[in-house]
A and B are shown apart, each in its own frame.
Chain A
Amino acid sequence: MNLILKKDQLNHLLNAWRQDYEVYAPQSLENFTHFLPLQDGFELAFDKAHNTRIPPKALFLPTSEALLKFTRFGGYEQVPSETAPRLIFGIRPCDAHAVTMLDTVFEQERYMDPHWVARRDAAVLIGLGCHVPCQTGFCTTVGSGPFNHAGLDAILTDLGEIFLVETLTEKGERLFTQLEIATEEQSTQASEGQQAAAASMPIAFETEWLKEKLDQNFVSPYWEEVSRSCLGCGVCTFLCPTCFCFDIVDEAQRGERVRNWDTCMFRTYSLEASGHNPRPSRVERTRQRLSHKYSYWVDQINQIGCTGCGRCVRYCPVGLDIRAMLRKAHQLPSEVAHAQ
C-alpha cells in the first residue's frame, strides 16, 4: 500500500519508533555519514551523500565481534547474540540488496550463524530510494536498481515536500499505520520518478558473457594490467557491502575469541603455515576479488555479487575503477562468446 509521509513529520515518527526500537539512520560524523543510533536532538544526513562510508552490513556483521568468552581454567562460553529490536532507516536499496546476498552465506541450513540470524530477525529495514542516483553507483548494470525492493520492509520515494511510502512486508506495514493513503496521482508521480532515476543511469559495463570471460581468462596478462596500480590497502573489500570475509583470533588479554573483518587483498589472508601462498601477489588477489563477485557468486546464487554501490570506486586511494576494469574484461577473448 502506498502512503504519504510529510517530511516535517519525519522526526516525530522517528522519535515515536524510538520507543520500541533502537533506530539507526545516516548521520554526519567527522567527514562522512554513518548509520548511528538516533539520540535526542539528532540530525539526519540524507542530503550530503547517498551511501554511508561504512556499509550497513556492519550492523549485522560488526567489524569486530566476540564469538566466545573465556572463563577460568581453560573454559569458554558462547557470547549471546544481540537481539534488541532495531529499525534501520534510510538504507539505500543497493545496501539492502547486499544484505540479502549475505543472508545466503550466514543462513545456510547446515551452519546457521546465530549472531547474524539474531540481528537480522530483530531488524526492520526502511529504505530510501535514490531519486538522484550517485555518480559512482552502477546498480542498474548489475541487476539492482535505485528503487530495488530486495531486503526492504518499506521503501521511501522523495517527492519534494513528502515521501511516498511503499510498504513491502508486514513488518513494514505495522510501522506506518498512522499515515494517510497516497493519491493515484502521487503514486504515479513516484513511479515515474523511480523509472526516470533508473533510466538516467548509464550502463557501466556489459555483463553478458562477463563470467565466462573471467573464468576462461584465469591465466591472462589482463590481471597484471588491472592490478598494476593497486596498493593492496583492501579498502575496496572493507567498504564493500557484499564482502563478508572474516578472521578469527584469540584476544588472550581480553579473554575473548573475536572475529574481525578481513580481506582477500592482504598477503597474509591466504598465506599458509608452510610458507606457500596461493595468492602471492596483488595480481592473484585482484583476480580473486573480481572473480568472486562476477563469477563465483553467479555460480552460487545466480546473481552478480555486487550491487553497484560504487564505494570501491569512490574510496580507492589510487582511483582504480571496477567499472573500467570490467569494461576491459569484456575485451577478453572467450570461447562461449565467439560460439554465439
Chain B
Amino acid sequence: MPNEAQSPYLPIPMHVLHAYYESTDRSLKTLELSFDEPQDAREFFAAFNPGQFCLLSVIGKGEAALGVASAAWEGDFVRFTVQKMGSVTTALHNLKPGDPIGIRGPLGNGFPLENWKGKNLVIIGGGCAFSTLYALTKHLHHPSNRGDYSKMTVIYGTRTSGLCMYKQDIAAWHQRDDMEVHQAVDVPEEDWLHHVGYVPDVVKEVSPSPVNSVAVVCGPPIMTKYTLPALVGLGFTPETIFTSLEKRMKCGVGKCGRCNLGPKYICKDGPVFSLAELNALPADL
C-alpha cells in the first residue's frame, strides 16, 4: 500500500525567468520565477495572498524562506528579492535565467485584506523587508482592488538610496494621485529630495491619522521595535497595527518547531500578527 500523499516538503518545480540586482551594492537581487507546470501556477495563485512567503529551494544547497514580492495580477510569475547572507542565498544570487529552482508555498496567512476593506492603509517598510509590502501595494494598485480601500500612504526607509528596492516603480508612485509616498534614507545624501532620518521618526513626522486606519509595519527588528510604539503614540490601537514576523524556519508548515513563538508557529499561524496578538505572546523574538 504505497502512500502517494503529496508531501508538504516537495517543492514546486520552477525556473528563473528574470534575475537582476536590486541594490547598487549588489547585496539584493530580485528573482522572477515561472512555473514549469501551468497547473501549479493555477493552484499557487488560487491560494496566494500578499504577505505570504515561500521556501526557495536550490537543490544540493538547501532552502531559504522569503516573502513574495509580486501581486497575482502581474502575471504567471512569482517575485522574490534575496539578500545575500549565507550559502543558500549566495546560491540564489548565482542563478541565471533558465536555471531550475523549486519553491514551497504560498505559506503562512498573509495580510488580512478582507478585514481592511474600507479603511485607510498606512504601509511602513524598512530595508529589504519592504518586499511583501511591495506585493501588498502592487495588489492594491489593481483597479479591481483599489476601490475597496480608502487613503493609501506608503512610508519606506532604507539606509541609503542605493539600497532602495523597486526604484523605478516607486519613482512612478510619486506621480500617482491615489496614494501618498514618503521615502527616507538614514543619512543625508546629495540630490536626495525626500525625508532623511530613521523610519520611526519619519512616521512621527508624516503623522498619519489613526481614524479608520490600519498600519502595517515590516522592517528590521530594531525599526519595528521603535515604529510600533510611535504608531501607538499617534493613536493607533494595537488591533489596527500589523507586522510580519521572521524567525529561522525549516519546514514552513508548523512541524519542525523552529519558528515557535509561545503556542504559535510564525510559519503557519503568521507571519502577519496584529500588535494586540503580539502583546499576548511571549517576547521570544
Contact = CB atoms under 8 A, between A and B. Distances in A.
Interface of A: 67-68, 70, 73-76, 78, 80-81, 83, 105-106, 108, 110-115, 117-118, 121-122, 215, 218-219, 244-250, 252, 255, 257, 259, 262, 264, 269-274, 276, 278-279, 284, 288, 291-292, 295-296, 299-300
A271 B259 CA distance: 11
B256 A279 contact: no
Interface in B242-285: 246-248, 250-251, 253-258, 260, 262-263, 268, 282-285
Contact of B248 (A117, A118, A270, A296): A270
B59 A74 contact: yes
Nearest to B253: A111
A-B pairs, top 5 by smallest CB distance, nearest first, are: A299-B263, A245-B257, A111-B253, A114-B5, A273-B85
Given A78-B10, A264-B260, 16 more contacts: A73-B100, A74-B99, A74-B100, A80-B4, A81-B5, A105-B255, A112-B8, A113-B8, A114-B6, A118-B3, A246-B257, A250-B61, A257-B59, A269-B248, A273-B86, A291-B282
B11 interface: yes
Interface residues of B, number: 44
A248 B255 CA distance: 11
Contacts of A108: 254
B144 interface: no
Contacts, number: 134
A111 B254 contact: yes
Nearest to B13: A75
Given A269-B258, A272-B248, A299-B262, A248 B62 contact: yes
Nearest to A251: B60
Contacts of A291: 262, 282
A244 B257 contact: yes
B229 interface: no
B253 A272 contact: no
B1 interface: yes
B256 A278 contact: no
B87 to A, nearest CB: 10
A14 B256 CA distance: 35
B221 interface: yes
Contact of B284 (A115, A257, A273, A284): A284
B63 interface: yes
Interface in B72-124: 85-86, 89, 99-100, 102
B246 A246 contact: no
A296 B262 contact: yes
Given A248-B63, A250-B61, A117 B254 contact: no
Tell which of A81, A108, A111 has the most Cβ of chain B within 10 Å.
A111
Given A111-B268, A112-B5, A250-B60, A76 B254 contact: no
B63 A111 contact: no
Interface string B165-202: 00000000000000000000000000000000000000
28 contacts: A67-B9, A73-B100, A75-B13, A76-B11, A76-B59, A78-B9, A78-B10, A83-B1, A106-B255, A110-B268, A111-B253, A111-B255, A111-B268, A113-B8, A114-B5, A218-B282, A244-B257, A247-B256, A248-B62, A255-B60, A257-B59, A264-B260, A270-B247, A272-B248, A274-B85, A278-B247, A278-B284, A296-B260
A80 B3 contact: yes
B67 to A, nearest CB: 14
Contacts of B89: 273
B7 interface: yes
Tell which of B62, B100, B246, B284 has the most Cβ of chain A within 10 Å.
B284
Contact of B9 (A70, A244, A257): A257
A67 B256 contact: no
B2 interface: yes
A151 B100 CA distance: 43
A243 to B, nearest CB: 8
A291 to B, nearest CB: 7
Contacts of B256: 245-248, 259, 262
A76 B102 contact: yes
A68 B258 contact: no
Contacts of A106: 255
Contacts of B260: 264, 288, 292, 296
Contact of B60 (A83, A252, A300): A252
A247 to B, nearest CB: 6
Given A74-B59, A299-B263, A270 B258 contact: yes
Nearest to A112: B5
A272 B3 contact: no
A23 B171 CA distance: 68
B238 to A, nearest CB: 19
A110 B109 CA distance: 12
Given A108-B254, A262-B256, A249 B3 contact: no
A52 B273 CA distance: 42
Contacts of B60: 70, 250, 252, 255
B284 A68 contact: no
Interface string B40-64: 0000000000000000000111110
Contacts of A245: 256-258
Contact of A113 (B2, B62, B255): B255
